[in-house]
Amino acid sequence: MPPGPFLQSVNARLHCEPLATISYAIYWSFALFLATPICVVVLLVRGIWKLLHYTSYRANSIYYDPSSYNVGATARQSYELAVFITGCDTGFGKEVALLAASKGFIVFACCLHTESFSQFTDVKNIKPLQLNVTKDEQVREAAQVVQDWIRTGEKEDKKRVLHAILNNAGIGIGGLVDWLDLAAFQKVMDVNYFGIVRVCHAFLPLLKDQAIHGTHVGARILNVVSMAGLVPGGSGLGTYGPSKFAATSFSTVLRAELKAFGIQVSTVNPSFHGTPLVHQMRNDMTRTWDNLSKDKRAEYGEAFFERFVKMAADIPQAFSWKMDPVVDAVLIALQSKHVEAQLILGMDARFAFVILRMLPWWLIDWLDSMDPRPIPAAMMHNR
């Protein structure tokens, strides 16, 4: 039943000026005044609890040890824990695959190019697979490979389970919205968003079956969506940002839906780190610029492009962090019995960017207007 006439009338009046502005200011002033001390206390208590939790005698029981994992207090046979990782050609995917394998996980390292297999040659516990996450059939075949591996273990009297999925594959096509055609948006969305959906959809039957039959209840899905999926995007992120926001929303929905099965879903949200994706930003944007028509380039001008690419690519690359903290954090997420809903990684992400999520849009727009942005050549006469 919809709200009655009185509430409908109140709702209508609260959207009329000046009452809209007055009510907004009064409500949030009181809300923040009351919530601030409560939030401080909650954060302190949570911090102390986590510190005690990780330093107490229970610390040894809150991690999965791939080399000695078993099910049930009386179980004598260890299980082999598998991790399925996409985007292992370079960057986070490659490094996490190598580290996870060294810790005893069986890693299905999915690469777009078969040439990338050579980096895993003679690496114990790594099984490289060729996978394009935009291809439905390839994703289904990869899921079948994992299922066959589990079934083969049963024939050999080995207990095997799929412990985790790390959706890491991602791309970006830099440039202003005005510089890109629709195909660019579709390509990025197909990898960064639908790629995650495809992989999750293909493996859900296996993960649920493990939970239902009690062979493995602690499985988890980790989706790398970066801080671009949490904070408002700036110029040049027209393809990348929306795909990451979509992936974040999908992960939130999936987390709620899979709780009943004991399957955890988490997003990995690093800021700028020294991955090939970051190092290639200038070349990527330059390629987009070079492919524009002569008239379009004249409309913006070379000076505009150089200043834009410096802000959107050169500065982030200059201040990018080493990959090690992200790789280590993902490994902990693979090993921990409980996984945080969001892994926000990078000093700037944890203590600066995250604040943008809490600001109202009118303040974000005002702060954005203070940023001296380059002006297109065609608009210089209006200055």
d(CA 149, CA 9): 63
Strands 79-85 and 106-111 turn out to be parallel
Asked whether the predicted pLDDT for residue 344 surpasses 80, the reply is yes
Q: What is the pLDDT of residues 139-189, one digit of tens each?
A: 999 999 999 999 998 777 788 999 999 999 999 998 999 999 999 999 999
When mean pLDDT is compared over 7-11, 155-159, 266-270, the highest value belongs to 266-270
Q: 383 CB contacts (<8 Å, ≥6 apart)? A: 375
Q: Which helix (H) or strand (E) holds 135?
A: none
For residue 216, how many other CB atoms are within 10 A of its CB? 24
Q: What is the pLDDT of residues 348-363, one digit of tens each?
A: 888 888 777 778 878 8
One-letter amino acid at 17 equals: E
One-letter amino acid at 115 equals: E
Q: What is the pLDDT of residues 30-84, one digit of tens each?
A: 888 888 889 888 889 988 887 887 675 445 556 787 776 665 444 445 789 999 9
Which residues make beta-bridge pairs with 273? 321
Give the pLDDT confidence score for residue 57 in this predicted structure.
Answer: 44
Write the CA distances from 241 to 14, 235, 248, integer angstroms.
33, 10, 11
| Residue 316's pLDDT band (cuts 50, 70, 90) | confident
Give the pLDDT confidence score for residue 160 in this predicted structure.
Answer: 93
Helix, strand or coil for residue 342?
Answer: strand
Q: Which two tokens stand for residue 50?
A: 């986590």
Mean pLDDT of 121-147: 97
